[in-house]
DNA sequence: CACATAACCGGAGGCACCCTCCGTTTAATT
DNA sequence: AATTAAACGGAGGGTGCCTCCGGTTATGTG
């Protein structure tokens, strides 16, 4: 990830982030063919800056997606630091719904990334599984969650929300779905 | 097909055809992102004319493909009128290779058609199967071709060329392949 | 703190494409 | 030959892409 994100000049990093978040907004709510000029303007930045950070449209979309993926991944550790593991997992599932929503929104644009030879989903599985594992196993260690299933089972259960037909209440239904799963994961009694 | 191709004014039909053949040329040899201005110029026609005939890029690409499909389909009857059925089938296979080549060339552009909700391949199977059937069954009736296989088997055999890795000599190898198939279809002795 | 300088910023500008609009041409009809 | 509805063509206005470079700013040094 962020090759030199660490040694970047402060303003450079700021702009990079503004661009990513604008791209996320516009792409998810307006589709794959937003103009890059529009993204730059929305970020309050010149087009030159955009092109310096992301030489191609695909680079921008891919980076936006990977950022979102990282947010999801890193969220696990943060939640785990502040809550009992089972509650952390429950909250993390809400994060997961948000991730799923943006992924849906970006789908069209990501399609284009793949068409130009990219592979944006390469680390998705790994990262997500890593997060689930850390949360779930912590829950087991704390005696709050069942021992007869493993993290992959949990992940498969969560992935079910991708199969649901979308509609205006998709997020709500997904959350319900995941809450059900969560209840199933706790110890009886 | 050609909704009112029959009652169109002569110049209109001429231009329509010039446009289709130019589109075929340019799309197959330059890829999916040729400019429509370029297509019009290549056809020796104003852009206005292009847009009148094909309101969207997708409409043009789809029409070009369907034209090619029709050419293949209609070729069967023509060949059958001029040659013994087995020879007609052999010649038709050459037509099929040409069709396959253009289909490969258009693949990228057709991908876009599908993305905008089109279904260019809907009638492909039917039309091709219809052509094969007429040729093959005529051959059987004339006693030149085997009786223990049917037109669908022939079609499956021909479809094999789509599985071959492409390269500069793809057309040649495809023809060889089909000639082999053709030999297998004739009666022994 | 002031200065130097390397890194970064912004957006004007040139180019290509898209698509519409309307004055002109032409095929078909009588 | 005259009429007219249909079709033509391409100029033009709008938009997006991407580069280039004069101006700005963060950061390390004296």
Please give the nucleotide, over all strands, whose C1' is closest to the CA of residue B16: D7
Residue at minimum CA to C1' distance from nucleotide D9: B46
Which residues, other chains included, contact A8 with Cβ-Cβ below 8 Å and sequence gap of 6+? A16
- B151-184 pLDDT, tens per residue? 999 999 999 999 999 899 999 999 999 999 999 9
Q: Profile chain A (189 residues) by mean pLDDT over runs of 10 residues.
A: 64 95 94 94 95 95 96 98 97 97 92 88 96 98 96 96 92 96 88
Cβ A2 to strand C below 7 Å: no
Hey, how many other C-beta atoms are within 10 angstroms of the C-beta on A132?
23
Spacing of B37 CA from C15 C1' in Å: 15
Residue at minimum CA to C1' distance from nucleotide D26: A9
Hey, how many other C-beta atoms are within 10 angstroms of the C-beta on A100?
20
pLDDT at B3 over 60: no
Spacing of B49 CA from D7 C1' in Å: 8
Mean pLDDT of chain B: 94
pLDDT at B189 over 70: no
Q: What is the pLDDT of residue B82?
A: 98
Q: What is the pLDDT of residue B83?
A: 98
Residue at minimum CA to C1' distance from nucleotide C27: B9
Q: What is the pLDDT of residue B4?
A: 56
Cα–Cα distances (Å) from A31 to A36, A43, B55, B113, in that order, read 12, 17, 22, 17
Tell me if A60 sits within 8 A of A54, measured CB to CB: yes
pLDDT at B44 over 80: yes
Spacing of B48 CA from C24 C1' in Å: 14
Cβ A38 to strand D below 7 Å: yes
Cβ B163 to strand C below 7 Å: no
């Amino acid at each position: 990830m962020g090759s030199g994100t660490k040694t970047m000049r402060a303003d450079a990093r700021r702009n990079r982030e503004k661009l990513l978040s604008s791209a996320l907004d516009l792409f998810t709510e307006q589709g794959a063919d937003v103009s890059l000029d529009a993204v730059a303007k929305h970020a309050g930045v010149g087009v030159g800056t955009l092109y310096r950070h992301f030489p191609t449209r695909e680079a921008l979309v891919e980076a936006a997606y990977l950022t979102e993926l990282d947010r999801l991944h890193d969220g696990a550790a943060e939640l785990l630091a502040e809550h009992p593991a089972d509650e952390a997992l429950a909250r993390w599932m809400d994060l997961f719904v948000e991730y799923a929503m943006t992924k849906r929104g970006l789908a069209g644009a990501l399609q284009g990334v793949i068409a130009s030879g990219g592979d944006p989903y390469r680390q998705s599985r790994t990262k997500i599984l890593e997060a689930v594992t850390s949360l779930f196993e912590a829950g087991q260690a704390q005696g709050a969650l069942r021992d007869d299933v493993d993290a992959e089972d949990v992940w498969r259960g969560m992935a079910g929300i991708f199969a649901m037909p979308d509609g205006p209440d998709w997020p709500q239904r997904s959350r319900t779905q995941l809450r059900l799963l969560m209840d199933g994961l706790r110890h009886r009694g």
